[in-house]
Structure 1
Amino acid sequence: MSLKQSIRNSSKWLVGSNLISQIIQFLFGIVLARLLVPADFGMIVTIQIFTGFVSLVASGGLGQALIRSKEAGERDFQVVFSVQLAVGIAIYAGFFLIAPWFAKWFGSPLYEDLLRISAISFLMRPFLNLHNVWLHREMQFKATSTISLAANLLSGVSSIAMAMAGFGVWSLVLSGLLGSILNCVLLMRITPMRTKFIFDRSIARRHSGFGIKITLNDFISYMRHQTSNFILTKLAGPTTVGLFNKGDSLAKLPFSTISGPIYQPVFRSMAAEQDNPDRIKYLYFRMVSLLLLYTMPIYVGMWWLAEPLIVTLYGTQWAGAAIPLEILSPLGFLYCIGHPCGAVLGATNRVGREVVVQTITWIIVGVGCYVGLQWGLAGVSFGIVLSQVYSTTHMYLLSNAVIKATPRELISALAPGIMLNSVLVGTIILIDAVLPAGFRSDSTVSYILVTAVLGGLVYAAVFLFFPMDALRDEANRWKRMLRIAV
């Protein structure tokens, strides 16, 4: 199988299953938002700020190191598992001990039990990582995608059932653990990896070199993303955190649904071609073009429909979440450029240079959100925008040192997506002008459907029948699938 076909097949399973999972989680999220209150979600976000930060230390980047390594045998996997389990046990013990202080600091005794139960995940992650990393290295994404879908379905159903039974915030914590248990059991049944406690200093040292760089980069990136939540938690309370996080997570939905899953097969393929900069350049620009094609119209739609979408889906108590959604959605354009840069730097062992970018971005986020908070959620959101503009610019400059692309090549990769989405923006503006006055506010659901359907049809028609050269092969592939004459 060719590299191109391998990436396409892997991406198909990852994106397809992730899309279904995101739709399921999205629908479950709508139900949960109506059963719970913003403060419940805000408390979970507060817990996740700290557990997510420590999880980076627990993994140590060793999973990514195994995926990237040209050679990795069973003993390598077992050594990594042993190291991660030892670290996981230590982390759980630490969280258990500090839980009372944590609850006192945030002014709610409920945080003590929430933190202790949530930290159980650190005892499960080494088992999940052992099997997941093996499947990723073998590019068996069909298996991981199917299992993840089943786990997400169980988690979603159980969370709704517990929320209806009056479990409140606990419905979010316990359902997540149930999903992780199912995920772990199913993975253990389909991989040849077996858990053995082995420690080999030479193997640990060999993988930890790259792993430390990954961990440091992920740590700073994570802190950058969570700084806004932390500032809001301490200065504005859990309700404000819940509103901001809802808008922010929706603004990143195309990223997590499409961009994130595509990253793994592209990263693995770039790593296999790490000594061939021309091939890496091709993969980079191809990823940029396709991300713009498939994700940017969703960003555009969320930007235009932010307020009616939030109120219709989640109710008036979530109306404030429309502010960050409207401001952050256009950042999708920058994600389409910056995310592939991370794959280039990671595959060519230049993660250390990315750390500098993430550190400066983190500082911009912290200052921007702290200063912007005086203007509410809008001010915090613009602080995020400023940081992302810097981050994408610097990341592209670093990756361009590898691929050595000209400005013309970048413009050629961006032009088809920009053209298509310009047509989409023009279409929805025209639709809004043609519809009766007051239709947007008086018939919100109908307005959303009309805008989404007509805008989507025009976008698809232009892509299929008037494609630019860079997307002609992709358009023809869709024509063959849809049985439209090429």
Structure 2
Amino acid sequence: MGINENVQKASKWSLLTELLTKLMSPIVNMILARLISPEAFGMVATITMVTSFADLFTDSGFQKYLVQRKMTDSQELDKDTNVAFWTNLSLSIMLWFLIFLFRDGLAVAVGNKGLGNAISIATLSLPLTSFSSIQMARFRRDFDFKTLFWAKIIGILIPLFVTLPLAFVLKNYWAIVIGNIAVNLSNAVLLTIRSKWKPSLYFSFLRLKKMLSFSMWTLLEQLLGWANLNVAIFIVGRFLSPYYLGLYKTSIATTNQIMLILVNAFSPVLFSALSRLKDDSESFLEMYYSFIRKTGFIVLPLGIGIFIFKDLFVKILLGSQWSEAATFIGLWGMLKAINIIFGYYSMEVFVALGRPKYSVITQILELVVLLPVLIFTVPYGYKAVYLSRCAVVIWSIIIEMLFLHIVAKISVMRSLKSTRESIVSTLIMGCVGGAISQIYDNVIWSFFSVVICIFIYFITMLITSEGRKIVKEFLRRD
């Protein structure tokens, strides 16, 4: 089977996985947001900040190494996989032990004294993810996203049978913590059972040294990505109340759940495909532009739609107690759509080309702006923080576009051309939607306005031959 056929098949399964996951996640969050207070979500944000940081080290960047690297034969791949697995498992156990010992100090450091036990229990997931992350890399390398789909389906059902019942009983953050552990356990068991590769007692420090020369750059990029994502959570948690921390974290998480459905589906497939095409620059670029064309078809109208109908979005997904989050959610959705098209895939591009240091540079350039901006604005309150955070997104788009052009010769103009029909249709839809949404201020009219916007978008897309081609390309099942 050729690379294009593999990509189409993998994209279908990966997209289906993300669609089902993201359709279920908002439903679960809709219920949780009505059972658990914003303050409790703020505590979960603090716990997640610690666990996600530790989890970066348990992967150590090996997952992308196993996907990207050319191997001479299956034996070499199995040896590298064993080295990656035992390294990850050892690191995860050591990190969990250290977190357990210093759990109370960590809780104080992140601004939530008394969360020490919750943090130590939540990080029990670390050894579990050391199993699943390596298995995922093997499946992605082989474009076997069908197996990942079925594993994810089981994980989707766990919140229904674990998290939500616990939330009804406990009505606090423990429901989410225990539910997350159950999901990670499920992934570890199912992927290990389904995998052709099983851990064996093999290790080589020479191989580890070779792998680290690539993986350390990826690890550093992931650490900086974590910092860019969580530095605001840390600052808001330290200087504002748990209520505003919950608003901030949940606004971003809820919007990203919707906006990143296609991106999360396409990113692993795109990375696997670009890794195979890195020696063929023309095919490499064609593959990249094809992915942003498909992504833009959905995320551009979605981002503008969230901005226009932000109040409806919040009422449906979170409830009335989250109304203060509406403006941030609207701005974040719109800017995220632009970011996805013009820079979000940059890490996949840089790592696929074997040049992950450029992804590190872009993360550093974002962080050196983000940190002082947040420190300066947090004394002025929650609104100043989220407006400044949105402004930094614009900065990140600029630097990502610049380095994509420098490293991979990816042109801003060609990116615009690839998504031209979607951009024009989105602008028309946005103008109409912005006007009609002001006629009446009620939920029924808002729903009607959304339907009108969807209709207008598809009609304008189908007017031109290129627009019809994009629609057919996206809906194609083969």
Q: What TM-score comes out, normalization by structure 2 length?
A: 0.93
1:282 corresponds to: 286
Distance 1:86 1:347 in 2: 27
SS of equivalent to 1:73:
helix
Distance 2:37 2:134 in 1: 37
1:124 corresponds to: 128
* Long gaps (5+) in structure 2: none
Distance 2:185 2:69 in 1: 28
2:381 corresponds to: 376
Match for 2:409 among 396, 404, 408? 404
Q: 1:312 to 1:412 in 2, by over 3 A?
A: closer
Distance 1:64 1:369 in 2: 31
> Which moved further from structure 2: 240-249 or 31-40?
240-249
Q: 1:309 to 1:473 in 2, by over 3 A?
A: closer
Structure 2 residue 422 is matched with structure 1 residue 424 = no
Deviation at 1:413, TM superposition (A): 1.8
Contact 1:79 1:200 in 2 (8 A): yes
1:339 corresponds to: 344
**What are the Cα deviations for residues 250-308 of structure 1, in whole angstroms up to 9, with x where unaligned?**
33234431112201111111111111111121122222222211111111111111123
Distance 2:222 2:91 in 1: 17
2:469 corresponds to: 473
Distance 1:357 1:336 in 2: 16
* Long gaps (5+) in structure 1: 482-486
Contact 1:327 1:378 in 2 (8 A): no
SS of equivalent to 1:193:
coil
Deviation at 1:409, TM superposition (A): 2.2
2:447 corresponds to: 449
Deviation at 1:381, TM superposition (A): 2.0
1:258 corresponds to: 262
**What are the Cα deviations for residues 198-219 of structure 1, in whole angstroms up to 9, with x where unaligned?**
2201221222111101000111
Distance 2:112 2:347 in 1: 39
Contact 1:278 1:403 in 2 (8 A): no
> Which moved further from structure 2: 248-257 or 32-41?
248-257
**What are the Cα deviations for residues 20-63 of structure 1, in whole angstroms up to 9, with x where unaligned?**
11111100100000001011111111111122112112211011
Contact 2:155 2:186 in 1 (8 A): yes
Contact 2:401 2:412 in 1 (8 A): no
Contact 2:294 2:474 in 1 (8 A): no
Within 5 Å, give how 1:50-449 maps onto structure 2: 50-71=50-71, 72-105=76-109, 110-331=114-335, 332-406=337-411, 408-432=413-437, 435=439, 439-440=440-441, 443-444=442-443, 446-449=444-447
Which amino acid letter does the alignment assign opposite residue 451 of structure 1? S
Distance 1:93 1:381 in 2: 35
Which amino acid letter does the alignment assign opposite residue 315 of structure 1? G
Distance 2:411 2:305 in 1: 31
> Which moved further from structure 2: 279-288 or 232-241?
279-288
RMSD over equivalenced CA pairs, Å = 2.0
Which amino acid letter does the alignment assign opposite residue 55 of structure 1? D
Q: Give the total of aligned pairs.
A: 472
Distance 2:161 2:305 in 1: 28
SS of equivalent to 1:252:
helix
Contact 1:66 1:207 in 2 (8 A): no
> Which moved further from structure 2: 283-292 or 157-166?
283-292
Contact 2:36 2:171 in 1 (8 A): no
Distance 1:267 1:163 in 2: 37
**What are the Cα deviations for residues 286-332 of structure 1, in whole angstroms up to 9, with x where unaligned?**
22222211111111111111123213442322112113112212111
Contact 2:342 2:412 in 1 (8 A): no
**What are the Cα deviations for residues 65-97 of structure 1, in whole angstroms up to 9, with x where unaligned?**
011111152122111111111111100100000
Distance 1:405 1:102 in 2: 42
Contact 2:17 2:153 in 1 (8 A): yes
Distance 2:475 2:168 in 1: 45
Which amino acid letter does the alignment assign opposite residue 448 of structure 2? V
Deviation at 1:196, TM superposition (A): 2.3
SS of equivalent to 2:273:
helix
Q: 1:377 to 1:478 in 2, by over 3 A?
A: same
Distance 2:424 2:238 in 1: 43
Deviation at 1:64, TM superposition (A): 0.8
Deviation at 1:142, TM superposition (A): 1.1
1:484 corresponds to: none
